[in-house]
Amino acid sequence: MRKFAYCKVVLATSLIWVLLDMFLLLYFSECNKCDEKKERGLPAGDVLEPVQKPHEGPGEMGKPVVIPKEDQEKMKEMFKINQFNLMASEMIALNRSLPDVRLEGPLESYVKKLKVPVHVIRMEQRSGLIRARLKGAAVSKGQVITFLDAHCECTVGWLEPLLARIKHDRKTVVCPIIDVISDDTFEYMAGSDMTYGGFNWKLNFRWYPVPQREMDRRKGDRTLPVRTPTMAGGLFSIDRDYFQEIGTYDAGMDIWGGENLEISFRIWQCGGTLEIVTCSHVGHVFRKATPYTFPGGTGQIINKNNRRLAEVWMDEFKNFFYIISPGVTKVDYGDISSRLGLRHKLQCRPFSWYLENIYPDSQIPRHYFSLGEIRNVETNQCLDNMARKENEKVGIFNCHGMGGNQVFSYTANKEIRTDDLCLDVSKLNGPVTMLKCHHLKGNQLWEYDPVKLTLQHVNSNQCLDKATDEDSQVPSIRDCSGSRSQQWLLRNVTLPEIF
């Protein structure tokens, strides 16, 4: 019995010491954490106290930080470190206050409050402008479909003049005058009723002055619609049934690019009319660059789209595009059989008719002798516009065979053209400049001798010659001598002589 009692005392004492050790261990462990928190400047409690945000100071509520003029140079140097305004970043509180920019509800909820029925149709995946518009048109129910870019503002009374023209003739496709909204300040600036749509050899849409022939047709009445060869494509109205009849958009095109010229050619060649209604004004933000990427690259998409429109609608005149942009011919443009079938079904006119009757002032001459490079026999160099502008000298450079700036046409009017500019000589011994083609011959009249290989400027009776020592990148014009330096090869033997 005495041994058993002794054992109980030993066990009880050991248990007490174990419990005491555990208590001390836990106590000092927690104290260490407390000390660590104090050293770090954190509150010792289990819950962090919220830090009060400042209500004023640089950048508060998301406002811009203005750097004083005397610190601008230092700011620029600090900017280079991380490629952002480091000085401004250091001035802003770490936990600055920001405005609550969350929307009160989804877009669908908002449009339900509008006085007119509005439906939001969303694409399941990014498909681009062309297919998005096709989907919108497919679900539309109104007699007239109006397409507008997202970055537009409509003025008072913009729609009625468009609808009136379609009511007058359902085969009339109408565009408003496109006013300019500044992409910087959003200033609204009225557009001109004296410009209309055209295009250049690269199939880029361009604005040009309304020609005198169109002013004469309207008898000087600027309230009447302007017949335009092409439209910008972002803003237009069309009869819903007619849109279906003429083949909507080419669904084989991707994203956007070229679709505006394609539908413009199709409207005119297949019996419709394309107009700018001068009594309708819609503002548009013209961006300096595309803010998004193209799957496969911008060039690939646009080249494919342009190749499709050229193959279907431009007949032999597609060569202007292919020679100036030879890379286009390597692009896979898909199956166009259905679009060619549409052209046959609608009994559409040839592109030559379009150039003759709708766009006679086109940069593409209707009749031409050659298209391509103009090579000097002695130097083996080619005429080159050097990307220069109107009123500047034409250049001469090593032939590269890549089209582009070295593509010239010798036309039936005996002009030497590079897009909408013609070689022009106004006095003896030059210089040879590039001026807007005026079709009046005069200083823009050149006689090519296919035997002597000379290009003679008729007014001065002098011949185009190689560059001089004074300027190695500019061709000269001198008295005709029959020398090799005055011989030129007009290349492109694949094109027939049309005139």
Let me know: does 343 contact 312? Beta carbons within 8 Å: yes
Question: How many residues are present in the chain?
Answer: 499
- 58 preceded by a cis bond (ω within 30 of 0): no
pLDDT of residue 184: 76
The residues near 159 (Cβ < 8 Å, ≥ 6 apart) are: 146, 237, 280
pLDDT of residue 30: 46
Side chain identity at residue 225, one-letter code: P
Nearest to 188 by CA among 279, 282, 276: 282
Nearest to 257 by CA among 224, 286, 282, 232: 232
Residue 392's CB is within 10 A of a number of other CB atoms, namely 16
Q: Is 193 helix (H, G, I), strand (E, B) or coil?
A: coil
Distance of alpha carbon 388 from alpha carbon 406, whole angstroms? 12
Q: Is 277 helix (H, G, I), strand (E, B) or coil?
A: strand
pLDDT of residue 368: 86
Residue 368, both tokens: 């031409």
Residue 74, both tokens: 């230092």
Phi first, then psi, for residue 332 (nearest 5°) are: -75, 115
**pLDDT digits (tens), the chain, 499 positions:** 555 555 555 555 655 655 555 555 555 444 444 444 444 343 444 444 444 445 678 888 888 888 999 999 998 998 888 788 888 888 888 777 877 665 555 888 888 888 888 888 888 887 788 888 889 899 999 999 999 988 888 888 999 999 999 999 999 999 999 999 888 778 888 888 999 999 998 899 999 999 999 999 999 898 999 999 999 988 999 999 999 999 998 888 887 788 999 999 999 999 999 999 999 999 998 877 777 676 766 677 888 999 999 999 999 999 889 988 888 888 888 999 999 999 999 999 999 999 999 999 898 888 888 889 999 999 999 999 998 989 999 999 999 988 889 999 999 889 999 988 999 999 898 899 999 998 888 999 999 998 899 999 999 999 999 998 888 899 999 999 989 999 999 976 444 444 4
pLDDT of residue 185: 77
Nearest to 343 by CA among 280, 397, 266, 404: 266
Residue 353's CB is within 10 A of a number of other CB atoms, namely 14
Distance of alpha carbon 65 from alpha carbon 361, whole angstroms? 53
pLDDT of residue 5: 56
Let me know: does 394 contact 433? Beta carbons within 8 Å: yes
Side chain identity at residue 483, one-letter code: S
Question: Which is it for strands 144-147 and 408-411: parallel, antiparallel or unpaired?
Answer: unpaired
Q: Is 404 left (phi over 0), alpha (psi -120 to 50) or beta?
A: left
Side chain identity at residue 326, one-letter code: P
Distance of alpha carbon 394 from alpha carbon 195, whole angstroms? 27
Q: Is 396 left (phi over 0), alpha (psi -120 to 50) or beta?
A: beta
Nearest to 201 by CA among 499, 477, 356, 418: 418
Domains and CATH numbers, the chain: 68-119 (no CATH), 135-361 (3.90.550.10), 366-490 (2.80.10.50)
414: Cα within 13 Å, side-chain hemisphere: 15
Distance of alpha carbon 117 from alpha carbon 21, whole angstroms? 78
Phi first, then psi, for residue 105 (nearest 5°) are: -160, 170
Distance of alpha carbon 118 from alpha carbon 107, whole angstroms? 11
Nearest to 432 by CA among 387, 398, 399, 384: 384
Question: Which is it for strands 381-384 and 395-398: parallel, antiparallel or unpaired?
Answer: antiparallel
pLDDT of residue 59: 84
